[in-house]
């Protein structure tokens, strides 16, 4: 039987700044313990700030555009000994400019982070959550995924994927005790 005094546990990717940082704060303010991750050194400072809200906070610096880093993050999550009650798949970035002039390597990295890492972590988390018949998955999409995005063609496409993936996964998992939600922010100063 689970210890009912143990706070729920949330994982937030892209949590060093911006939306992810604020999502992690909201989880902490609502009684969750939190594991935060980002590819920046700032994640350690962000974790300290969130911990000051009274939550137990774990931090992992990882570049989730790389499959091996996603797997390493999942091992770190499992090493906490906690069951993931909620995961906010928020890590991502955009790249602007004329498509014929933008850097292909950066665009492919964006696809790896904004799409592949989301699918990879959602798969790992959903398996655990379905097994316990409880869990919440939040995927940060964007209103950019609902309309043409000139000068951000690849970014808009990744966010359209995230939105469709969240909607499809929500439908697929509807009877499992697991909810899937897409967050669709507009332009945000992060």
Residue 20: exposed, middle, or buried by beta-carbon count in 10 A (0-12, 13-18, 19+)? buried
- Beta-carbon count within 10 A of 7 CB: 18
Catalytic status, residue 155: yes
Backbone angles phi, psi at 31, to 5 degrees: 90, 5
> Residue 56's closest CA among 75, 82, 23, 78?
82
Q: Quick one: which H or E segment has residue 36?
A: strand 33-38
Which one of 21, 58, 155, 171 is the catalytic residue? 155
The catalytic site residues sit at 155
């Amino acid at each position: 039987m689970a210890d009912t005094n143990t706070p729920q546990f949330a994982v937030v990717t892209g949590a060093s700044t911006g939306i992810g940082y604020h999502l992690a704060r909201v989880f902490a303010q609502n009684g969750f313990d939190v594991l935060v991750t980002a590819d920046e050194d700032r994640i350690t400072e962000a974790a300290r700030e969130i911990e000051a809200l009274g939550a137990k906070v774990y931090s992992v610096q990882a570049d989730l555009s790389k499959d091996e880093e996603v797997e390493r993050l999942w091992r770190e999550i499992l090493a906490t000994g906690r069951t993931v009650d909620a995961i906010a798949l928020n890590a991502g970035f955009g790249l602007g400019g004329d498509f014929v002039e933008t850097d292909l390597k950066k665009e492919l990295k964006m696809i790896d982070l904004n799409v592949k890492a989301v699918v990879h972590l959602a798969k790992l988390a959903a398996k655990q959550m379905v097994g316990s018949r409880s869990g919440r998955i939040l995927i940060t999409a964007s209103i950019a995924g609902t309309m043409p995005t000139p000068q951000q063609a690849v970014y808009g496409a990744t966010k359209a994927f995230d939105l469709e993936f969240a909607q499809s996964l929500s439908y697929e998992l509807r009877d499992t005790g697991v909810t899937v939600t897409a967050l669709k922010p507009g332009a945000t100063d992060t």
